[in-house]
Structure 1
Amino acid sequence: MQTPLDRSIETLARTGMTRFFLRMFDDAPELLLKNLTVEAVGPDRTFKIGGKWLRNFGSDSFLGLDQHPAVLAAIERGVREWGAHNGTSRAFSEVAPQGEAEAKVAAWLGTEDAVIYPSVTLANVGALPALTTRHDVIALDQYAHNSIEEGARVAKARGVRTAKFAHNDPADLDRVLRGLRPFRHAVVAVDGVYSMSGRLPPLTEFQRVARSHDGFLYVDDAHATGVLGTGGRGTVADALGDYENTLVVGSLSKAVSCLGGFVAGTRDAVEVLKMRSNSLIFGGPVPPPYLTAVCAALGVIGSAEYAGLRAKLDANVAALVSGATDLGFTVLGGLVPIVSVLIGTEERTLRAGRFLFDAGYYVQSVVFPAVPHGAGVLRMQVNANHSAEAVGGLIGALAELRETLPAQGHDSPLLVPAQREAVSA
Structure 2
Amino acid sequence: MSERLTWIHQELDSLKEAGLYNRIRTLGSPQGAWLMVDGKRVLNFCSNNYLGLANEPVLVKTAQEYTQKFGVGPAAVRSIAGTMDIHLELERRLAAFKGVEAAITFQSGFTANLATLPALVGKEDVIFSDELNHASIIDGSRLSGARIARYGHADPASLEKVIQENAGSYRRGLIVTDGVFSMDGDIAPLDKIYEIAEKYDILLMVDDAHGEGVLGTGGRGIVDHFHLHGKVDVEVGTLSKAFGVVGGVVAGSAVIVEWLRQRGRPFLFSSAVTPADVGACIAAVDILESSTERVDRLWANARYFKEEMKKLGFDTGVSTTPITPVMLGEAPLAQQFSRELFEEGVFAMSIGFPTVPRGKARIRVMISAAHQKEDLDQGLAAFAKVGRKLGVIA
1:63-212 equivalences in 2 (<5 Å): 63-93=51-81, 94-156=83-145, 160-180=146-166, 181-212=168-199
1:5-84 → structure 2 map (5 Å cutoff):
7=4, 9-12=5-8, 19=11, 22-25=13-16, 34-41=23-30, 45-84=33-72
Identical pairs, percent: 31
Deviations 1:121-142 (A, max 9, x none): 1111111000113332111000
Q: Which residue of 2 aligns with 1:393?
A: 378
Query: 2: distance between equivalents of 1:289 and 1:329?
Result: 42
Query: What is the CA–CA distance in structure 1 between the aligned matches of 2:96 and 2:154, rounded to whole Å?
Result: 30
Do the aligned residues in 2 keep the contact of 1:196 with 1:332 (CA within 8 Å)?
Answer: no
Shift of 1:366: 0.6
The superposition leaves residues 97-128 of structure 1 with CA deviations (integer Å, 9 ceiling, x where unpaired) of 10011111000000000011111111111110
Match of 1:235 among 192, 212, 222: 222
Contact 1:57 1:380 in 2 (8 A): yes
Q: How does 1:323-334 map to 2 (within 5 A)?
A: 323-332=308-317, 334=319
The 8 Å contact of residues 63 and 385 in structure 1, kept in 2 or not, is answered as yes
**Residues 344 and 376 in structure 1, CA contact (< 8 A), matched pair in contact too:** yes
- C-alpha deviation, 1:174, in angstroms: 1.9
Kindly report which structure 2 residues correspond to 1:340-419, keeping only aligned pairs within 5 A, or say none: 340-406=325-391
Work out the CA distance in 2 between the residues paired with 1:11 and 1:105. Answer: 47
Q: Which moved more, 1:308-317 or 1:102-111?
A: 308-317
- Partner SS, residue 250 of structure 1: strand
TM-score by length of 2: 0.94
Deviates more, 1:280-289 or 1:105-114: 280-289
Who is 2:294 aligned against? 309
Q: CA deviation at 1:25?
A: 2.9
Q: How many residues are matched?
A: 391
Q: Helix, strand or coil for the counterpart of 2:337?
A: helix
Cα displacement (A) at 1:183: 2.0
Relative to the length of structure 1, the TM-score reads: 0.87
Cα 1:373–1:188, aligned 2, differ >3 Å: closer, same or farther?
same
Greater shift after overlay, 382-391 or 307-316? 307-316
| Pair 1:394–1:333, CA change in 2 (3 A) | farther
Flag the 1:327–1:32 CA change in 2: closer, same or farther, 3 A: farther
User: Is the alpha carbon distance of 1:315 and 1:75 closer, same or farther for their aligned partners in structure 2, counting shifts above 3 Å?
Assistant: same
Decide whether the 8 Å contact of 1:142 with 1:166 is kept in 2.
Answer: yes
4+ runs of 1 displaced by more than 4 Å?
none
Instruction: Give yes or no for contact 2:180–2:186 (8 Å, CA) kept in 1.
Output: yes
User: What do the CA deviations read for 1:157-212 (whole angstroms, capped 9, x no partner)?
Assistant: xxx22211111122221222223232222110101011211221121221222223
Say if 1:75 and 1:182 are closer, same or farther in 2 by CA, change over 3 A.
same
| Residue identity opposite 1:99 in structure 2 | L
Structure-1 separation of matches of 2:333 and 2:107: 36
Question: What does the per-residue CA deviation read over 1:313-348, in whole Å, with 9 as the maximum and x for residues that have no partner?
Answer: 222111210111001011135533221111110111
Contact 1:106 1:113 in 2 (8 A): yes
Gaps of 5+ in 1: 409-425
Could you say if the C-alpha distance between residues 77 and 333 of structure 1 is closer, same or farther in structure 2, counting changes exceeding 3 Å?
Answer: farther
Q: For 2:65, what is the secondary structure of its paired residue?
A: helix
Secondary structure (helix, strand or coil) at the match of 1:397 reads: helix
The residue that corresponds to 2:266 in the other structure is 279
Q: CA deviation at 1:10?
A: 3.0
Mapped to 1, the partners of 2:319 and 2:148 lie a distance apart of: 32
> Hey, what's the Cα distance between the residues in 2 that align with 1:372 and 1:32?
15
Amino acid at match of 1:78: Y
SS of the aligned residue for 2:341 comes to helix
How far is 1:12 from its partner?
4.7
